[in-house]
């Protein structure tokens, strides 16, 4: 399978399928085995988060719940892209580094040069990175080769000619001959990097991709630009856009960006969303950081994941992540 994290997601969240709400394919319930958050004593001070825009809403919602539990705590959230998280953690200007991609080896090396140990990564949610089109667009599905042919210069996936107009994706009538208008993220974004690696096979984006400062801006662009296509996390879905079902290979089985397909890894652009922290081995974690992560991994925190449109972790994963705090 091309998606290198697919086996990890399959093993980690397969049990979460039992928690899926049968009332609708797009709805999933929080694992009943995940306990509710219990506030600790004596937690106060300031905590800062710098990193992913894709997690910006989640971090804001989590911080609101955290401040409700600890009125004396102040939380500052800045979401300008995943690449801003490692420098902030290294400099100590942030205690939380949300990222929509895993840290690069060079980023981990820079952290380790400063502290003598690696940063600790916490899985917080599951996402389906969606290829969005306008709600009125009738395109039925795309292969990753077609996605690559639409967004990239080099088409390293092969198997599809350079896609410039909608008739090349089988559309007729008013859509035939209409140029495909492309929207994407800027290079500071983890979503930009993840899409480049996993959809474009590490190829370069076309110069015509309109780079946006945030995920919401991508979705807004696709909403108002009838003949457009863009990529963003599933949590940014609005009534104005539609996620295109994708296949890993040309002519292969097509999968929608549902919780079930993301948990199984069958949706080809499923991924974890992370928060990185600085935890020295053998030393206790700062209580304010520890309790924030515990809230994220609690029933309360995972209910926020569902509220924001992403997919929650099962109890088996939250339990493993909690062990990293001790």
d(CA 325, CA 288): 12
Structure tokens given for 63: 């911080």
d(CA 307, CA 61): 9
Please tell me if the domain spanning 6-126+273-323 has the same topology as the one spanning 128-270. Answer: yes
Name the percent of the chain lying above pLDDT 70.
92
Residue 31 scores a pLDDT above 60: yes
Q: What is the mean pLDDT of the chain?
A: 92
Q: pLDDT tier at 27 (50, 70, 90 boundaries)?
A: low
Model confidence over 157-184: pLDDT tens digits? 998 899 999 999 999 999 999 999 999 9
Class of domain 6-126+273-323: alpha beta
Give residues with Cβ within 8 angstroms of 175, minimum separation 6. 137, 138, 166, 167, 227
Which helix (H) or strand (E) segment is 150 a member of? helix 144-151
Residue 192 scores a pLDDT above 80: yes
d(CA 271, CA 310): 11
Residue 141 scores a pLDDT above 90: yes
Q: pLDDT tier at 78 (50, 70, 90 boundaries)?
A: very high
Residue 8 scores a pLDDT above 50: no
Structural contact between residues 277 and 96, judged by C-beta atoms closer than 8 angstroms: yes
- What is the model's pTM? 0.88
Model confidence over 260-313: pLDDT tens digits? 999 999 999 999 999 999 999 999 999 999 999 999 999 999 999 999 999 999
Residue 95 scores a pLDDT above 70: yes
The domain 128-270: what is its CATH number?
Answer: 3.40.190.10
Residue 232 scores a pLDDT above 90: yes
Give residues with Cβ within 8 angstroms of 76, minimum separation 6. 46, 47, 48, 49
Give residues with Cβ within 8 angstroms of 128, minimum separation 6. 233, 234, 243, 257, 258, 261, 262, 267, 269, 270, 271, 311
Torsion of CA 258, 259, 261, 267, to 10 degrees: 70
All structural domains of the chain with their residue ranges: 6-126+273-323, 128-270
Q: What's the pLDDT at 74?
A: 96
């Amino acid at each position: 399978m091309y998606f290198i994290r697919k086996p990890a997601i399959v093993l980690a969240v397969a049990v979460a399928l039992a928690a899926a709400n049968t009332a609708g394919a797009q709805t999933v319930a929080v694992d009943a085995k995940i306990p509710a958050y219990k506030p600790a004593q004596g937690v106060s001070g300031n905590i800062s988060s710098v990193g992913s825009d894709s997690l910006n809403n989640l971090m804001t919602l989590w911080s609101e719940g955290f401040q409700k539990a600890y009125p004396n705590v102040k939380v500052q959230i800045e979401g300008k892209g995943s690449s801003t998280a490692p420098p902030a953690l290294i400099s100590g200007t942030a205690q939380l580094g949300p990222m929509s991609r895993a840290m690069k080896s060079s980023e981990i090396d820079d952290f380790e040069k400063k502290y003598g140990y690696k940063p600790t990564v916490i899985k917080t949610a599951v996402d389906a990175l969606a290829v969005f089109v306008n709600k009125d667009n009738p395109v039925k599905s795309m292969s990753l080769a077609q996605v690559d042919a639409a967004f990239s210069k080099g088409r390293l996936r092969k198997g599809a000619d350079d896609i410039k107009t909608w008739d090349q994706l089988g559309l007729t009538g008013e859509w035939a001959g209409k140029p495909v208008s492309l929207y994407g993220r800027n290079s500071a974004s983890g979503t930009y990097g993840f899409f480049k690696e996993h959809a474009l096979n590490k190829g370069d984006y076309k110069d015509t991709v309109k780079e946006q400062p945030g995920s919401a801006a991508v979705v807004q662009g696709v909403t108002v630009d009838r003949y457009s296509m863009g990529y963003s996390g599933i949590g940014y879905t609005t009534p104005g856009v539609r996620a295109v079902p994708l296949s890993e290979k040309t002519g292969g089985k097509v999968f929608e960006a549902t919780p079930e397909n993301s948990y199984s890894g069958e949706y080809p652009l499923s991924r974890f969303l992370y928060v990185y922290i600085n935890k020295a081995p053998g030393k206790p974690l700062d209580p304010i950081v520890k309790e924030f992560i515990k809230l994220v991994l609690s029933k309360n925190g995972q209910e926020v994941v569902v509220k924001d449109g992403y997919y929650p972790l099962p109890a088996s994963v939250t339990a493993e992540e909690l062990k990293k705090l001790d």
